[in-house]
Amino acid sequence: MKYLIVGLGNIGDEYRDTRHNIGFSVLDAFAEDSGARFNDGRYGSMSGVKYRGRTFVLLKPSTYMNLSGNAVNYWLRKEKIPIENLLVIVDDLALPLGSIRMRAKGSDGGHNGLAHINQVLGTNEYPRIRIGIGNDFSKGSQVNYVLGRWTAEEWKFLAGRIAIVVDMIKSFGISGTELTMTAYNKAGRISSNEPGKSESGSGES
């Protein structure tokens, strides 16, 4: 009952707490809540959390975003973890700020980290959780926005959203992908980029 949980991001102080590094932030929160610490390993920083008989291997790749697949492939093989027990946490420009959506599989959606994972693994059939970072930027400013740091207001709002994703990771290990999507995808939706507004209506799974 071992799971590889990968938070995508870029290493280095210049990328710390940026929008593109929301995957790192989720794993930092999970480890902190569990009293675990990260240690440097091959292709990334590693930590381990045990919860209700499950072992969660936490990976923050050190390959930089565009080569994330190298780290994922190495640790899947080293830890002998089946691909269905892989879960990737990733930022998404197409979702409103703080919106959370889990999928059992899917395209990379233009995300370079997911694209490289798909390429190296030879499949896109693995679970992932996308976290909306919004798209409040002017034309030509996408890179600066994605690599920019959160405002104080955004970060305060996101703390609660990150806590939900940590709960989803635990649910993924205990209940599996489908039940986790059913339980969390509706509650995880946000109707707009204004923090705190939840969307009504049925959720997707």
pLDDT in tens, 84-133: 999 999 999 999 999 999 999 999 999 999 999 999 999 999 999 999 99
Which residue is catalytic, options 19, 20, 60, 116?
Answer: 20
Return the pLDDT at 165: 98
The total number of structural domains in the chain stands at 1
Q: Which two tokens stand for residue 153?
A: 């207001």
Pairwise CA distance, residues 102 & 204, whole Å: 9
**In-domain check, residue 58:** yes
**In-domain check, residue 195:** no
Average pLDDT over residues 1-28: 96
**In-domain check, residue 191:** no
What is the percent of the chain where pLDDT is above 70?
A: 93
For residue 170, give the CATH number of its domain: 3.40.50.1470
Return the pLDDT at 146: 94
Cβ-count burial of 200 within 10 angstroms (0-12 exposed, 13-18 middle, 19+ buried)? Answer: exposed
Return the pLDDT at 54: 97
**Average pLDDT score over the chain:** 92
Of 81, 100, 106, nearest to 6 by C-alpha is 81
Of 102, 87, 92, nearest to 184 by C-alpha is 102
**In-domain check, residue 56:** yes
Q: Which domain holds residue 30?
A: 2-184
Average pLDDT over residues 168-189: 96
**In-domain check, residue 205:** no
pTM of the model: 0.91
Pairwise CA distance, residues 9 & 6, whole Å: 10
111 tagged catalytic: no
